[in-house]
Amino acid sequence: MVLTPGTGKKHPKKTDAAKVSLTGWTGGKQAFTTREPTVMPIEQMAPGWQEGIALMVEGEKRRLWIPGKLAYGNAPGGPAPTEDLILDLEFLGSVEPPAVPKDLTKPPADAKKTESGLVYRLLTKGTGSAHPAATSNVTVHYSGWSKDGKMFDSSVMRGSPTSFGLNQVIPGWTEGVQLMVVGDKMRFWIPAKMAYGETPKRPGTPAGDLVFDVELIAIR
Catalytic residue positions, numbered: 142, 152-153, 170, 196, 212
DSSP secondary structure letters along 144-164: EEETTS-EEEEHHHHTS-EEE
Distances (CA, A) of 193 to 21, 91, 103, 134, 200: 41, 42, 20, 18, 11
Report the C-alpha gap between 171 and 218 in whole angstroms. 20
- Dihedral sign, Cα of residue 131, residue 135, residue 139, residue 141: positive
